[in-house]
Amino acid sequence: MKNWVRWPALGAAIVGPIQTWLGWLIAGSLWTGYDPVRQTISDLAANESPVKGLMSSFFILGGTLSIIVAIFAPVFSMPGRIAIAVSGLATYGLTIFPTPLVGYSTPHRVFAITSFVLSSAWPLLSMRFGKQYPSIIRPKGAIGATVVLTVVSLWFLATWTDPNATYVGVAERLLAVGQTWYMALVLWVCWYLGRTPAKSATEQPVLP
C-alpha cells in the first residue's frame, strides 16, 4: 500500500468542501440584508460585519486545512505542497487584514489574490511524471485542471475589481467551490488508488 495521502489530509478533504460552503451559508443567514449575489465572502468578515468573528473562524479553519494537506499529502510534489501551504498562510493574512464594507484594503487584496492564485496553480506545481502516479496528477490532468481553475480565477478577479459588477459574490463562490472540491477529489482519488498494493518494488514512488 502506498502512503500517498495520509489520514489528516484525507480528513481535510472531507471537512474542507463542507466548511467552505457552510461558513458563508451560516454567516450570511445571520446577517439580515446581506446579499450573497452582490457581496463577497470577505464582507462577512469585515470589521463592520455583525458576523465577523464567525466568518473569520471559518477562514482560519480553511487556511489550517490547506496547511494540513500540504504536510500530509506526499503524493504531491514539493513545489505544489509549498504552494498549498502558502495559500493557507495567505488565508490567515486576509483574515488578519479584513476588507472594509466601503472601499477596499490593499493588504487584504494582496493576501486574497495570493490565496486564489495559488489555489488555482497548485495542480500544475504538484504534478508528477512517473507512470505509477494517478493520471489526475500527471501532466494531462494537472495542466487541464490548472487551465480551468485559472480561467475561473481570472474571471472572478476581473469581476471583483470592477466597481460596476453586480454578481461578484456569485463569481467568488463558484471559484471557492471549484477549488476546494477539486482538491478534495484529487486527494480521494490518490488515496483510493494508493490503497492498491504495487505489483513490484520498482513501482514504489519516492516521495519527498
Rounded Cα distance, 77 and 74, in Å? 7
101 neighbors 125 (Cβ within 8 angstroms):
no
- The CA–CA distances, whole Å, from 88 to 30, 69, 122, 131, 156 equal 26, 10, 12, 30, 19
69 neighbors 9 (Cβ within 8 angstroms):
yes
pLDDT for position 149 = 93
User: In a structure prediction context, what are the per-residue pLDDT tens digits for the chain, which is 208 residues long?
Assistant: 578 999 999 999 999 999 988 999 999 999 999 999 999 899 999 999 999 999 999 999 999 999 999 999 999 999 999 999 999 999 999 999 998 888 778 999 899 989 989 999 999 999 999 999 999 999 999 999 999 999 998 998 888 888 888 889 999 999 999 999 999 999 999 999 988 655 544 455 555 5
CA-atom Rg of the chain in angstroms: 18
The residue written with cell numbers 445571520 in the block is 30
Judge residue 109's burial from the number of C-beta atoms within 10 Å of its C-beta, 0-12 exposed, 13-18 middle, 19 or more buried: middle
Q: What's 50's DSSP letter?
A: T
Buried b (16+ CB within 10 A) or exposed e, 71-97: ebbbbbbeebbbbbbbbbbbbbbbbee
pLDDT for position 1 = 55
Could you give the dihedral angle defined by the CA atoms of residues 148, 121, 69 and 127, in that order, rounded to the nearest 10 degrees? 90
All three cell numbers of 81, joined, read 505542497
Of 46, 28, 26, the residue nearest 37 (C-alpha): 28
Measured at the alpha carbon of residue 190, what is the angle toward residues 133 and 126, in degrees to the nearest 5?
A: 65
All three cell numbers of 133, joined, read 502516479
69 neighbors 63 (Cβ within 8 angstroms):
no
pLDDT for position 200 = 46
